Amino acid sequence: MWQAEHVRDALARLYPATRVEILAMSTRGDEILDRSLAKIGGKGLFVKELENALADGRADIAVHSAKDVPMRLPDGFVLAAIMQREDPRDALVSADCERLAELPPGSVVGTSSLRREAQIRGRHPKLVVQPLRGNVETRLAKLDRGDFAAIVLAVAGLRRLGLGDRIRAALAPDESLPAVGQGALAIECRADRPDVAAALAPLDHAETAACVRAERAVSRALDGSCTVPLAAYAEIDGGELRLRGLVAMPDGSRFARGEVRGPASDPEGVGARLAERLREQGAEGILRALA
């Protein structure tokens, strides 16, 4: 809802004579909280109901966390704008420590993400990682009542909800490489609505869009999904795209890592090169093991 209100307010500033209404919806991803996303169909569960509302004309646009948008959109839909990125890093939230390395062996760490789980297990094999679902407030409540010694969430989500003071540390990408699109908002509309796409164009942030397109190209090339611990993170560095990525086994026993640089004008090409680099580092074997 914060995301929808954020986009509504941005549109209201651009077009003060236009009335922007929010159609509040609940998705299956919001409702099924007792199983991991990987086991119930993946992140697309947060998107499908919204696309149905676009298709039947109940809504003109849908606002998503970019990391929740499937790598291949259904025919007839486009991402018309990707807004300027918030901090893309993962956040450590704990009452007792500022670094995962400070936790005693056997401490329980909560996360909803196979990507985060694999990286935690790989770096901190003596910690116990357990699934954590629910909205941000629910997850924090589970930490506060002692179910977990620490939890890992997105910095962006905590800050957007005014909960930035709960962050004990933002994890550097070298420790926890972010998810594809993490920290960015993506606005979707129907492909046959050029009027809507034109109205959204001022909200598109060119640098963020290039980074997210490169990251999504990596995942698309490797058929990444919620069942695959995959990370990709792009930055603009001196006019170039610096793109890092990894594919891992969920237990943290095997990793394929890679980095490439290339022109920001060709994000999909840079993403394709990184996907090939990851294959050379063993990604195909990991993907076959997870199939």
Catalytic positions:
68
Beta bridge partners of 256: 247
